[in-house]
Amino acid sequence: MRTAMRPRYYCDHCNKGNGSPSAMKRHERGCTLNPQRVCGMCAKQQDDGGPDPAPPRDELIRIMDADGFKAMCEAANDCPACILAALRTKNYPADGESPGGVAGPEDGRESWSYTQAKQAWWADWNSAESERRSY
Ligand SMILES: [Zn+2]
Ligand SMILES: [Zn+2]
């Protein structure tokens, strides 16, 4: 019998782990707990002729503190990952799935759901994608 101990790689920012260092590097770059994150979802949209990527996380937090949750979503082009990254700094639940427990005024941030926002984002993306294919 042989045993193999394979290394596991963990994100510096959250507790995600993966057996592949390159997959983990990719995750770390866009991790919503990484203050210097480069958003993969925003990059996807931009590649596709969409809006410029959302401003860095700290800028989004500044906008949210100054002008509220809705203004921040707009600045983030409604990108669920960028919104989650900003909300996570306000005690948003670590699993990112269920709303509630967000510090600050109840201006929509308390009922926002990453799961729902992500579903809507992908639905948009897929319908745009099928439109492109039909030309
Ligand atoms: Zn992570
Ligand atoms: Zn984004």
Task: Show the CA angle centred on residue 35, arms to residues 34 and 37, nearest 5°.
Answer: 60
Q: Which ligand is nearest to the Cα of residue 84, counting in written order?
A: 2
Q: Rounded CA gap, 71 and 62, in Å?
A: 11
Q: Which ligand is nearest to the Cα of residue 57, counting in written order?
A: 2
Residue 51 has pLDDT above 90, yes or no: no
How does pLDDT run across 76-106, given as a tens digit for each residue? 999 999 999 999 999 877 565 655 568 889 9
Instruction: Give the residue carrying structure tokens 């994608």.
Output: 129
125's tokens? 């993306």
* Alpha carbon of 99 to ligand 1 centroid (Å): 20
* Alpha carbon of 128 to ligand 1 centroid (Å): 29
How does pLDDT run across 7-16, given as a tens digit for each residue? 999 999 999 9
How does pLDDT run across 56-77, given as a tens digit for each residue? 999 999 999 999 999 999 999 9
* Alpha carbon of 76 to ligand 2 centroid (Å): 7
Look up the pTM and report it: 0.86
